[in-house]
Amino acid sequence: MISVEEAKKRINENISPLKPALKLLEEVSEHILAAPVFGAYDIPAFRQSSMDGYAISFGDKDGELELAGEMAAGAAEQLTLKSGQAIRIFTGAPLPEGADTVVMQEKITKNGNKIGFGDDKLVLGANVRPIGAEIRTGEMAMQKGDLLTPAALAFLAGIGTNKVEVYPMPKVAIILTGNELQQPGLPLEFGQVYESNSYSLSAALKKEGISDIEVLKAADTLDKLTEVLKSALENNDVVLLTGGVSVGDYDFVLQAAADCGVTQIFHKVKQKPGKPLFFGKQNDKVIFGLPGNPSSVLNCYYNYVVPAIKKLSGKANSIKEIPAKLSHDYQKPKGLTHFLKGNYSEGKATPLGAQESYRLSSFAQASCLIQLNEAQENFHAGEIVNIILI
């Protein structure tokens, strides 16, 4: 067995971002840019009013002006403003030739076809967006490594960009092993348990922005598991196997992986829950053999799978690890790092009940995993421990 820290180190050393791809803007929410984006146009491409009001020449601001038409957003024809005139204008509309200032509509007085002004704070260029105020042609809009948030997508669309080069999100296959598994909603036969790991993993992957998820089932035979694993590796970037990773008579993951040409990076980590964790690679494909118990699956997912997925998609590891005070005394055997389901509030971490690896009731209420390091046996209330926010 290797330590938790060594397992994380080996995963990080064996994963690189996926090959960049050119994708449409509507396909890349929460992706990472693999190349910088530059402005193709001056935006705005024309002088633009930033509000509803009246376009004037600043030199005419002290006199009464004649209203000489209007400019709406999307106007296809340019108007020319003459001395002594004002033109009604609306937000987003092009400024008429000869105009350099927009007066807010609340700051004017109107008398028939004449308007006057009551804005003693009016300055030259007020309420006008200059050409290129957002971005100039050839100027860098976003850098390689930037995250494409909703606001970033709107910005890029607003400057005329419709395709960007990004690190793709990995395609993920979840392989369920275990003849005892039954689908929720169906009656349990003798010896069966309800399958839940595909639900937790699929939801957690979607939370990371991954939508291309394939759920597969494999009977507890070496031939069947090898067949399913081979297909999953051909069609996906990441394969998550649940169950069958220990050393029982019906645990075939290690042999199936070897038969599919998977190189084992490690098997077994000094931790509880999730000791039988397996990690391997087939060329650039990543394989995790997760234990079958639901809490073990989620513990391994948050600690090891999330950082791997982040790196594959070009993202920094964003696991939220913070120090916290332990709420009360806790004792465990030496030799294994323990991850306890817990709640975090106001700087304090409180372990929950039902810590067994087959129980999810406490995990359903947990907001963190409390890490108790392998070499230590006794932990005291108020002691600082590391927690992972989930």
* Residues 151/216, Cβ–Cβ less than 8 Å: no
For residues 268 and 276, give the distance between their C-alpha atoms in angstroms, rounded to a whole number. 4
Quick one: DSSP state of residue 303? Answer: I
pLDDT of residue 339: 97
In the chain, what percentage of residues exceed pLDDT 90? Answer: 91
As a whole number, mean pLDDT of residues 9-14 equals 97
Estimate to the nearest angstrom the gap between the alpha carbon of 370 and the chain centroid: 24
pLDDT, one tens digit per residue, over 105-114 is 999 998 899 9
pLDDT of residue 250: 60
* Beta strands at 238-242 and 172-177: parallel, antiparallel or unpaired: parallel
pLDDT, one tens digit per residue, over 164-192 is 999 999 999 999 998 899 999 999 999 99
pLDDT of residue 319: 76
pLDDT of residue 335: 95
**Bigger pLDDT: 163 vs 61:** 163
**Bigger pLDDT: 251 vs 329:** 329
Structural domains of the chain sorted by starting position, each given as residue range(s) with its CATH number in brackets: 4-19+169-312 (3.40.980.10), 21-42+133-167 (3.90.105.10), 48-129 (2.170.190.11), 320-389 (2.40.340.10)
pLDDT, one tens digit per residue, over 234-248 is 999 999 999 888 766
pLDDT of residue 176: 96
- The tokens 């939508």 sit on which residue? 211
Q: What is the dihedral of CA 124, 129, 134, 139, to 10 degrees?
A: -60
pLDDT of residue 94 exceeding 70, the answer is yes
Estimate to the nearest angstrom the gap between the alpha carbon of 146 and the chain centroid: 12
In the chain, what percentage of residues exceed pLDDT 70? Answer: 99
- State the chain's mean pLDDT as an integer: 95
pLDDT, one tens digit per residue, over 247-294 is 665 679 999 999 999 999 999 999 999 999 999 999 999 999 999 999
